[in-house]
Structure 1
Amino acid sequence: MKTFWVKLTPKASSNRIGEEIALENGQIALQVWVTAIPEDNKANKALLKLLSKHLKVPVSSIEIIRGQTSRVKQIQIHA
């Protein structure tokens, strides 16, 4: 099992994964942009789909464990 932080930006011009950035609390997070809107869980679903494609793991093995309604999220990969 692996966990990491993501800073998600919804309503972007394209779906993409950027570089690691430092958050205000000192954590390191992966910057991610998705075109989906942050309503009805659409941005979160787009995030999981993008991470699944990038990491080559099934969407069902990726879970948002913290930050469902926040831009900063903790992600867990079940291998």
Structure 2
Amino acid sequence: MACVLEIKVFPQAGRTTLSIEPSGRIIAHLKSPPVDGKANKELIKLLAKMLSISPMDLTIVFGLTSRIKRVKITGPLTSEQVMSKLGFAVQTTFIQ
């Protein structure tokens, strides 16, 4: 089952974190700068670790050079499992 997360990214942050706004948008603060795809690679690595899946199961399908990104997750995880593994109860910007 494939699903897509919309994530707003803030590169060059003091630390790497993933959180959710009251509006439901997922926010990623990344240490890496937005140079040569470093922030994108860090985002994929962070999501893969949190979801316990291979980075190969994650693809940025929109926003390679933008702060708003859509990341496609392939594999057996349902949308509920994805949100649970990320530690979120509700996610309003989830695209299926």
Structure having the higher Rg: 2
Q: Percent identity over the alignment?
A: 31
CA distance in 1 between counterparts of 2:29 and 2:54 reads 20
Taking structure 1 as the reference length, what is the TM-score of the superposition? Answer: 0.87
**1:38 pairs with one of 19, 34, 38:** 34
CA distance in 1 between counterparts of 2:65 and 2:48 reads 20
CA positional deviation for 1:20? 4.0
3-state secondary structure, aligned to 2:25: strand
CA positional deviation for 1:21? 5.4
Look up the equivalent residue of 2:11 and give its one-letter code: P
Moved over 3 A (4+): none
- Greater strand fraction, Structure 1 or Structure 2: 1
Look up the equivalent residue of 2:49 and give its one-letter code: K
| Preserved CA contact (<8 Å) 1:7 1:72 | yes
CA positional deviation for 1:41? 0.3
3-state secondary structure, aligned to 2:15: coil
Taking structure 2 as the reference length, what is the TM-score of the superposition? Answer: 0.73
**1:29 pairs with one of 25, 31, 47:** 25
Asked whether 1:75 is paired with 2:77, we answer no
Structure 2 spans left out of the alignment, 5+ residues: 76-96
- Greater helix fraction, Structure 1 or Structure 2: 2
| Preserved CA contact (<8 Å) 1:8 1:73 | yes
Look up the equivalent residue of 1:31 and give its one-letter code: I
Give the RMSD, CA atoms, in angstroms. Answer: 1.2
Number of residue pairs matched by the alignment: 74
Look up the equivalent residue of 2:41 and give its one-letter code: K
